[in-house]
Amino acid sequence: MKLQYFICGFLLAVGFLLQNNFAAGQEKILSEADCESYIEIHGSSNINQFQLINHNPKIIRHSGEDEVNQGYQRVEIPADQFKGDNNRMRRDFLEMINASEYPFIIMAIEPRSLAECRKIKGVSDFKTIITIAGVSQNYVVPCAIYACENSGYVLQGNLEVKLTDFGIDPPTKFFGIVKVNNEVFIDYAFRFQTDDDIFRSDITPEP
């Protein structure tokens, strides 16, 4: 009988600890191999699909002299660093976003302290400003944050955008036979350190 009481008490204690850990939002830890930054762009036409990936997003550190968009974290993605299996599609993509004049896709992400938590555990809605071809648009992107094995965190998010939102007319080829679809999907993971702007806690929301 004493053994049964002991087992029941032990199980209740374990359950209590697990529940508290869940409620506290224990973060999933990723290996270093899974903590690399990247951004993927997926698009399609009436004939085929294309996918481009960039492993060189640049996290812009806060200068301390001025704040843009209430201390949003700025990420610059060099357009010429996108790679894909189809070189022609890559060239068409760079031409479509006018990379010669606007060599960077820019993302500005609000601080974590301002992001709104969702009912889904570990997911928050981050206000994000995306600039393509010199045109900026505002989005709210559901993102997950994971701790890295050694240091820092990875922010993972994905969203759908329309080319026309950035003043880009979906291009056509071969006298209109091939037409790129207006919808483009963006999938990304950015690795931040704990002192990057996105983790600043001294930002207050706009009234």
CATH code, 191: 2.40.128.110
Of 83, 89, 82, which Cα lies nearest the Cα of 45? 89
Query: Torsion-angle region of residue 112: left (phi > 0), alpha (psi -120 to 50) or beta?
Result: alpha
pTM over 0.85? The answer is: no
pLDDT value of position 194 = 87
Q: For the chain (length 207 residues), average pLDDT per consecutive 10?
A: 41 38 54 90 87 96 53 94 90 94 96 82 89 97 92 94 95 73 96 87 60
Within-domain flag for 129: yes
Within-domain flag for 15: no
Domain that holds residue 102: 27-199
Kindly state the tokens that stand for 53.
Answer: 């990936």
Within-domain flag for 13: no
pLDDT value of position 38 = 97
Within-domain flag for 173: yes
**Whole-number Å distance between alpha carbons of 7 and 151:** 38
Residue at token pair 């919808």: 183
- Cα dihedral 152, 158, 159, 162 sign: positive
Read off φ and ψ for residue 47, nearest 5 degrees: -115, -45
CB count within 10 Å of CB 189 equals: 21
Strand-pairing partners, residue 44, are 49
Within-domain flag for 42: yes
pLDDT value of position 4 = 43
